Amino acid sequence: MRRTILISLLFLLLLESSNAQTKNPTDKVNQLLEKYHAKNSPGLAVAIVKDGKIVYKKGVGLANLEYQIPITSQTVFHIASISKQFTLFSILLLEQENKLSLDDDIRKYLPEMKDFGHKITLRNLANHTSGIRDISNLMALIGLGETETISHQKSVELITQQTDLNFIPGNQFEYSNSGYILLAEIVQRVSKQSFADFTKERIFKPLKMEHSFFLSNTENIIKNHAYSYYKVENTYYKNTLNCSFFGSTGLITSVEDLSLWVINFDKKTIGNETIFNKMQQKSHLNNGEEISYALGQELKEYKGWSCIFHGGGIASYRSYLLRIPEANFAVIVESNDANFNPLDIVFEIVDFYLKNKTQTPATTKAVIDTSKFQSYIGDYEVFPGMMVSITEENQKLFLQIKGDTNKVALPATNTFEFTYPLRPHSKIVFPKDTKCDGFKWHFSDFVYNGKRVHLKPFDATTINLSELTGLYYNSELNTTYKMIIKDNALVATNDLNDNITLTPLQQDVFTSFTNYFGKVEVIRNEEGTVISLSVSGQGFKNMIFDKKHK
How far CA 160 is from CA of 84, 175, 178, 329, 448, in Å, comes to 20, 18, 10, 40, 26
pLDDT score recorded for residue 391: 95
pLDDT score recorded for residue 6: 43
pLDDT score recorded for residue 423: 87
pLDDT score recorded for residue 2: 41
How far CA 308 is from CA of 29, 282, 323, 329, in Å, comes to 21, 11, 5, 11
Asked if the model's pLDDT at residue 190 lies above 60, the reply is yes
Asked if the model's pLDDT at residue 514 lies above 70, the reply is yes
CB burial of 205-232 (b: ≥16 within 10 Å; e: otherwise) equals eebebebbbbbbeeeeeeeebbbbbbee
How far CA 268 is from CA of 4, 203, 207, 214, 299, in Å, comes to 60, 11, 10, 22, 21
Mean pLDDT score, 355-361: 76
pTM of the model: 0.92
* Band (4; pLDDT cuts 50, 70, 90): very low
- Domain 77-106+190-353 fold is Beta-lactamase (3.40.710)
Q: Three-state SS across 213-228?
A: EECCCCCCCCCCECCC
* Band (385; pLDDT cuts 50, 70, 90): confident
pLDDT score recorded for residue 217: 77
Please say whether the structural domain 370-453 has been given the CATH code 2.40.128.50.
Answer: yes
Is the alpha carbon torsion for 296, 299, 302, 304 positive or negative?
positive
Asked if the model's pLDDT at residue 198 lies above 50, the reply is yes
Q: For the chain, report the end-to-end CA distance as a whole number of angstroms.
A: 103
Q: Do domains 77-106+190-353 and 370-453 have the same CATH topology?
A: no
Three-state DSSP state, 322: strand
Asked if the model's pLDDT at residue 12 lies above 80, the reply is no
Tell me what the pLDDT averaged over the chain comes to: 92
pLDDT score recorded for residue 16: 44
What is the dihedral angle through the alpha carbons of 139, 142, 148, 152, rounded to the nearest 10 degrees? Answer: -50
pLDDT score recorded for residue 256: 98
* pLDDT tens for each residue of 247-265: 999 999 999 999 999 999 9
Higher pLDDT, 145 or 410: 410
pLDDT score recorded for residue 17: 43
pLDDT score recorded for residue 366: 75
Are 296 and 126 in contact by the 8 Å Cβ rule? The answer is yes
* Band (497; pLDDT cuts 50, 70, 90): very high
* pLDDT tens for each residue of 262-298: 999 999 999 999 999 999 999 999 999 999 999 999 9
* pLDDT tens for each residue of 293-324: 999 999 999 999 999 999 999 999 999 999 99
Tell me the domain boundaries of the chain. Answer: 77-106+190-353, 370-453, 460-547
Kindly report the number of other CB atoms within 10 A of residue 52's CB atom: 13
* pLDDT tens for each residue of 397-434: 999 998 888 999 999 999 999 999 998 889 999 998 76
Asked if the model's pLDDT at residue 223 lies above 70, the reply is yes
pLDDT score recorded for residue 19: 45
Are 42 and 27 in contact by the 8 Å Cβ rule? The answer is no
Asked if the model's pLDDT at residue 227 lies above 50, the reply is yes
CATH classification number, 460-547, choose in 3.30.390.50, 2.40.128.50, 2.60.40.3680, 3.40.50.720: 2.40.128.50
Q: Round to whole Å and give the CA distance between 157 and 161.
A: 6
Edge-first strand order for the sheet with 53-60 is: 53-60, 44-50, 329-335, 317-324, 305-314, 298-302
Is 154 exposed, middle or buried (CB count within 10 Å of its CB: 0-12, 13-18, 19+)? middle
pLDDT score recorded for residue 400: 94
Higher pLDDT, 403 or 360: 403
